Chain A
Amino acid sequence: GQQVMQIPQYQHVQEGEDFTTYCNSSTTLSNIQWYKQRPGGHPVFLIQLVKSGEVKKQKRLTFQFGEAKKNSSLHITATQTTDVGTYFCAHIIQGAQKLVFGQGTRLTINP
């Protein structure tokens, strides 16, 4: 199936620093969804991107979908301790509503 590679696997930052995670595919994707999972919690939907070159913002979070629809990124400006968790990208297999998840990027923050 269509795999999505997510990097880095782990990222540790000082509070206030920026953070970026990348999601890459060898094939064109119809969409990208981003989820956040707090430690000990369950994945929570953040956003969906469907258009080539799309950029969406949620407060300090900026989501991008590449022009070729083969990659996506999530950037957090000025991290806060509440941003701790694992961020997953995922894409839907059309017609089946199945999500294929990336491996996730685990973000830890030094206060």
Chain B
Amino acid sequence: DAGITQSPRYKITETGRQVTLMCHQTWSHSYMFWYRQDLGHGLRLIYYSAAADITDKGEVPDGYVVSRSKTENFPLTLESATRSQTSVYFCASSGGTGSNQPQHFGDGTRLSIL
């Protein structure tokens, strides 16, 4: 969907480096999410945000940091990348007004950590 964009699409970095993945949505959705997708594990929630300045941990938050200073942006930072964080990362957003809105996903960032 053109309304949610992730950057970069591909990233290769080394262990110990800091990496930030960007996510931007134009729908003014209140909820935003970060998932990682690995073979055998499906989609796992890393962090989510209900609104600007409100974030909470998901299933696998260790090693990641998020912020949400503006409604439209939800960056994900790997403070000191490890090989186990090699994965495909998806950002998603939803209207989330309490009526179980569907989530809209970005195209993903394929991150390799050497």
Contacts and interface: CB of A to CB of B under 8 A. Distances in A.
Interface of A: 1, 30-31, 33, 41-45, 48, 50, 88, 90, 92, 96-104
Nearest to A44: B105
Nearest to B88: A42
A28 to B, nearest CB: 15
Contact of A101 (B42, B96, B104): B42
A1 B59 contact: yes
Nearest to A91: B100
Nearest to A86: B42
Nearest to B106: A42
B103 A45 contact: yes
Interface of B: 31, 33, 40-45, 48, 50, 56, 58-59, 90, 92, 94, 96, 100-108
B50 A97 contact: yes
B42 A104 contact: yes
Chain A to chain B: the 10 pairs with minimum beta-carbon distance, closest first? A45-B102, A42-B105, A97-B96, A101-B43, A103-B42, A97-B31, A101-B42, A43-B105, A92-B100, A31-B100
A102 B42 contact: yes
